[in-house]
Structure 1
Amino acid sequence: MDQEKVNILLVDDQPAKLLAYEVILKDLGENLVIASSGREALEVLLKTEIAVILVDVCMPELDGFELAAMIREHPRFQKTAMIFISAIQVSDIDRLRGYEMGAVDYVPVPVVPEVLRAKIRVFAELYRKTRELERLNHELEDRVRARTAELEHSTAKLRESEQRRSMAIAAGKMGSWDWDWISGDWMWDEGQYRIFGVTPESFEVNPANVQALLHPDDVDQLRRAIAEFNKGTRAYETEFRIVRPDGEVRWCVGTAAATVDERGRVVRVSGVTVDITERKRAEERQNLLAREVDHRAKNALALAQSIVRLTRADEVKDYVNAVEGRINALARVHTILSLSSWEGAELSRLIDEELAPYSLGDQIRLAGPEVQLLPATAQTLALALHELFTNSAKYGALSTRSGRLAIDWRVEDELLTLSWEESGGPLVMAPKSRGFGTRSLLASVESQLGGQAQFDWRAEGLLCRLEVPLTRRMAGLGKFDTGGSAELQRASG
């Protein structure tokens, strides 16, 4: 087989010498590339894969030493063979300099054709062998990687299959069966009887009885499997439902494989049945949860949209702070509800979360029993408490060291009564108009939860009383919906 030609770069500023090199090296049968200057040689190197460079030491502008140094600086050409040709007698220092620049050999002028051809041939063949070794090494590495990946994949599948089988057998959710295609005889193991909810004593295994236990919508699966085996299919897998004698519906996955005789005719079909009911139920629960999360997210976004749209402030900074505070309050209660899988939240936990940013020490007194709030109630009270704390920290008792705040709550007949009493702070005057905080508090407590909110702007401090139903029946709504946004809009209109 003809070996691949390699490129040999000839660099010299004198055309006559280049022509002489071409004549000498023509018999090698390689590709000869000509460059009449160092800069032209660099351009060629960037565009062409070169095996050997034959370069004249003495050239104008860029001599052989400088060209060699520039070539060696490029990562691609650090191992490219370079042979220097010198028309003058070079000293040992010049030779050492040349070798330091990357030269692999020197050829003096006048050039001996046989010597030059021999040197070029050696380095060209070395280049060719090196490339071949690199190619073979890459192929070997690719094959090793592919084989390793294949083995790892097979091992993982085998391990996974064995784990599933072991777990299924241990849990009693796997069964195996065998069907003599010629005689029609069936054989079920204990697991198969258990999955179908029958016993060997009370159930005769035959096509009619098995079909009777299949869900009416999945009977065609059995007929389709038999038809496929008659057509020559050797393996079949499908999901189906069974209806046990007690009426319970179970989901199963069945895998079957055919055994054929020397003529290719099916003589036996063997299979495995796995009960996947729990997995199916888990998928249904997951889908239900995803829909529920989507619903709650939309409700939360609707409430956040109302907060952004209805918040009022004279300065941009005040507006941003107000919106961030209300959104953060909503986020905190969302975290609490998430930790309880949206079952509810403790009232004391909501108060602690709203207290956390203030670090007020003994200025605040809390008293009340443990109260579990529904998600909607928790969200509403979290925002209400945030508004009360924010207002108190800006204008009320919590704005001074001498101020005091007492929060008490009790529950009677599924009705939560929360009392907020401030004292010792700045002199209080009843506001001429209600701000967003007060309006949203009233709207959410009264309209969303069917409760009441009362404010008494006493001179010594605000007294607020909230009454909130704790049951879904009394609250009317179990969770926020987009109607809440409309109520907030009406309250602030």
Structure 2
Amino acid sequence: MDHEKVNILLVDDQPAKLLAYEVILKDLDENLVIASSGREALEVLLKTEIAVILVDVCMPELDGFELAAMIREHPRFQKTAMIFISAIQVSDIDRLRGYEMGAVDYVPVPVVPEVLRAKIKVFAELYRKTRELERLNRELEDRVRARTAELENSTAKLRESEQRRSMAIAAGKMGSWDWDWISGDWMWDEGQYRIFGVSPDSFAVNPANVQALLHPDDVEQLRKAIAEFNKGTRAYETEFRIIRPDGEVRWCVGTAAATVDDSSRVVRVSGVTVDITERKRAEERQNLLAREVDHRAKNALALAQSIVRLTRADEVKAYVNAVEGRINALARVHTILSLSGWQGAELSRLIDEELAPYSLGGQIVLAGPEVQLLPTTAQTLALALHELFTNSAKYGALSTRSGRLAIRWQVENQLLTLSWEESGGPLVMTPKSRGFGTRSLLASVESQLGGQAQFDWRAEGLLCRLEVPLTRKTSAASPSGKFEDASSAELQRASG
């Protein structure tokens, strides 16, 4: 039986699945309209009457649930039949959510062709019957309007208002607008005003005022869009920036679709604006983080390379142990800094991490306030503490049960003073020459941090005093990569 074909909108981001739906539904002899994304589906709905929407639940940007919620917000589509297709295990909660978003049915994957055709056919026939009833109602309304001029005028205004209704607003991040291409009249919905940071009470929507809110570098995008519509383009999308009256810059993406008359002349342009500022900021943070990770990795590799190259030992085992100890110290402070987002590290945490390998009972006394160290300061100081602990465990107070160690620190005028005092250990003699650990400690603290390191080899135990500025900007903080050169050069001098 001949019937007036209706439009069935198929929405899925996978071409293969769209093709499969077309093959299944072609026997229904209806108009199948394809959309590969939620945004493209919205463009189709702006221009085309749709009887049934078949939409995939899982799609990028706008998933099926979000798309359904936006469609249902618009009065024109509140009764449009939507059928969800899901390739995942469908639970009762999933179905409930789908029905809450406006779905009339739920089809799981794999799709049974006969079942899908039957469902679509039912809703297509229901749409045809509804449209037929609507046509009968319009004919009746026309007769009434012919008799009552006032009612006709009121109905015309209502229809015009209906055509200018904005698309759904999603959490204040979207707005819709309508531009009468002939008269030049604009209409913004509440979301559009919110995105641009203006009030409908004080802001007149016209080309001059809108252009004044655009970023100067993006004004050309507006001119280009107008030119494209004059050339016959029916849809246009672009990203642009706006500058709100309070000076805040926001990123937006705009999608516009044209309506034409019988002579293919543009008579109206409708569009949706989405505030994507948070997404842009997230992308900037991700790029910044990638550069920072690259910089930190180069710094760490430079330190590790210097440690491996410059460590000295008479035996292979001693060499391996020395290198592993210093690399592990670097890894421990790297972990602490990573957990803080490379904002810094507590001095007490660095000391605790270096103490962890030793079972020392009450041999160690710690005293000092909470001190937050810059990342570069923390890295250098961690290696210095490692050398002190290693030396004490081998030859000093921590090499015997009777030994005692007191670590005290204080901060005054942004200068950290740390004292390392050993006692009760083996008899200490002033070394005839300084080992690599001591020399690298001196080089790193004095040259890299701009501080001082003093050693007093007392017979009863080593007394070491470190003075470290907390605010100095060292070469290690420079993103230009100078840290590698500075650290390698200082450690090279320490080994010489």
Tell me the TM-score normalized by structure 2: 0.63
Q: Structure 1 69/368 Cα, relative in aligned 2: closer, same or farther at 3 Å? A: closer
**Superposed displacement of residue 304, structure 1:** 1.4
- Greater Cα offset, 385-394 or 277-286: 277-286
- Cα deviation for residue 457 of structure 1 reads 1.5
CA contact (8 A) 1:300 1:480 kept: no
Post-superposition offset of 1:401:
1.9
Show CA shifts across 1:444-463 (max 9, x none).
11111111111112222211
Is the contact between residue 43 and residue 257 of structure 2 (CA under 8 Å) also seen in structure 1? no
Cα pair 2:402 2:424 within 8 Å, conserved? yes
Q: What is the rounded CA distance, in whole Å, between the counterparts of 1:143 and 1:305 in structure 2?
A: 91
Q: 1:395 to 1:231 in 2, by over 3 A?
A: same
Structure 1 residues 486 and 213, CA gap change in structure 2 (3 angstroms): same
User: Does the 8 A contact of 1:368 with 1:408 survive in 2?
Assistant: yes
Larger radius of gyration: 1
- 1:237 to partner: Cα distance: 0.8
Question: Please, which moves more after superposition, 14-23 or 169-178?
Answer: 14-23
Contact 2:424 2:460 (C-alpha < 8 Å) held by counterparts = yes
Aligned to 1:201: 201
Q: Deviations over 1:228-283 (max 9, x none)?
A: 22333222110011223343322111011122234433222110111222222222
Q: Compare 95-104 and 387-396 and name the one that shifted more.
A: 95-104
Asked whether the equivalents of residues 168 and 274 of structure 1 are also in contact (C-alpha less than 8 Å), the reply is: no
The 3 A distance-change label for structure 1 pair 256 and 202 is same
Does the Cα contact within 8 Å between 1:376 and 1:480 map onto a contact in 2?
no
1:315–1:75 Cα change, 3 Å: farther
Q: Per the alignment, do residues 82 and 391 of structure 1 end up closer, same or farther by CA in structure 2, a change over 3 Å counting? A: closer
Matched-pair contact (CA < 8 Å) for 2:166–2:176: no
Structure 1 Cα separation of the partners of residues 336 and 307 of structure 2: 20
Q: Once the 2 structures are TM-superposed, how far is the Cα of residue 139 of structure 1 from its aligned partner?
A: 49
Any idea what SS the aligned residue of 1:167 has?
Answer: coil
Secondary structure (helix, strand or coil) at the match of 2:204 reads coil
Distance 1:138 1:479, change over 3 A: farther
2:468 partner SS: strand
1:112-166 Cα offsets, whole Å, 9 max, x none, are: 9999999999999999999999999999999999999999999999999999999
Offset from partner CA, 1:413-442 (integer Å, 9 cap, x none) = 222221112222222222211111000000
* Deviation of 1:484 (Å): 2.2
Percent identity, please.
94
Q: CA deviation at 1:472?
A: 2.6
8 A contact 2:146–2:152 mirrored in 1: no
In structure 2, the CA distance between the partners of 1:231 and 1:409, relative to structure 1 (3 Å rule), is: same
Distance 1:13 1:414 in 2: 58
* Mean Cα deviation higher: 215-224 or 480-489: 480-489
SS in 2 for 1:402: coil
Residue 216 of structure 1 and its aligned partner are, at CA, apart by 2.1
Contact 2:250 2:277 in 1 (8 A): yes
Residues 376, 479 of structure 1: 8 Å contact kept: no
Partners of 1:328 and 1:57 lie apart in 2 by 48
Give distance in 2, aligned partners of 1:198 and 1:68.
29
Aligned length: 490
In structure 2, the residue matched to 1:484 is 487
Cα deviation for residue 491 of structure 1 reads 2.5
Q: Relative to structure 2, which stretch is displaced further, 125-134 or 478-487?
A: 125-134
More displaced stretch, 164-173 vs 462-471: 164-173
2:246 is aligned with 1:246 = yes
Q: Deviations over 1:327-381 (max 9, x none)?
A: 1101101111111112211111111100001121112221222222121221111
Distance between the aligned counterparts of 1:353 and 1:236, measured in 2? 58
1 CA distance for matches of 2:210 and 2:61?
A: 95
Deviations along 1:364-412, whole A, 9 cap, x unmatched?
Answer: 2212222221212211111011001111111112112222222122222
Of stretches 308-317 and 362-371 in structure 1, the one that deviates more from structure 2 is 362-371
CA contact (8 A) 1:241 1:249 kept: yes
Residue 476 of structure 2: aligned partner: none
- Decide whether aligned partners of structure 1 residues 142 and 470 sit closer, same or farther in structure 2, where only a CA change above 3 A counts: farther
8 Å contact 1:416–1:468 — kept in the other structure? yes
Once the 2 structures are TM-superposed, how far is the Cα of residue 287 of structure 1 from its aligned partner? Answer: 1.8
1:211–1:23 Cα change, 3 Å: closer
Distance between the aligned counterparts of 1:359 and 1:408, measured in 2? 20
TM-score (norm 1): 0.63
Do 1:237 and 1:255's aligned partners in 2 also have CA atoms closer than 8 Å? yes
Instruction: Classify 1:482/1:90 alpha carbon distance in 2 versus 1 (closer, same or farther; 3 Å).
Output: closer
Q: SS at 2:79's partner residue?
A: coil
**CA distance, structure 1, for counterparts of residue 406 and residue 186 of structure 2:** 78
Classify the secondary structure of the residue corresponding to 1:472. coil
- TM-aligned CA distance change 1:2 to 1:396, over 3 Å: farther
Aligned-partner Cα distance in 1 for 2:469–2:277 = 40
* Structure 1 residues 245 and 434, CA gap change in structure 2 (3 angstroms): same
CA separation in 1, counterparts of 2:423 and 2:264?
Answer: 95
Change in Cα spacing, 1:165 to 1:373, as seen in structure 2 (3 Å) is: farther
Q: CA deviation at 1:212?
A: 2.8
- Identify if the C-alpha distance between structure 1 residues 433 and 267 changes in structure 2 by more than 3 Å, giving closer, same or farther: same
Please state how far the C-alpha of 1:311 moved relative to its aligned partner: 0.5
SS in structure 2 opposite 1:61? coil
| Contact 2:47 2:257 (C-alpha < 8 Å) held by counterparts | no
Separation in structure 2 between the aligned mates of residue 33 and residue 47 of structure 1, nearest angstrom: 12
SS class of match (1:111): coil
The verdict on how the C-alpha distance between 1:11 and 1:201 changes in structure 2, with shifts beyond 3 A counting, is: closer
Distance, in Å, in 1 between the alignment partners of 2:35 and 2:185 is: 87
The answer for unaligned runs of 5 or more in structure 2 is 474-479
Inter-partner Cα distance in structure 1 for 2:9 and 2:3: 19
In the alignment, which residue of structure 1 is the partner of 2:119?
A: 119
What secondary structure does 1:411 align onto? strand
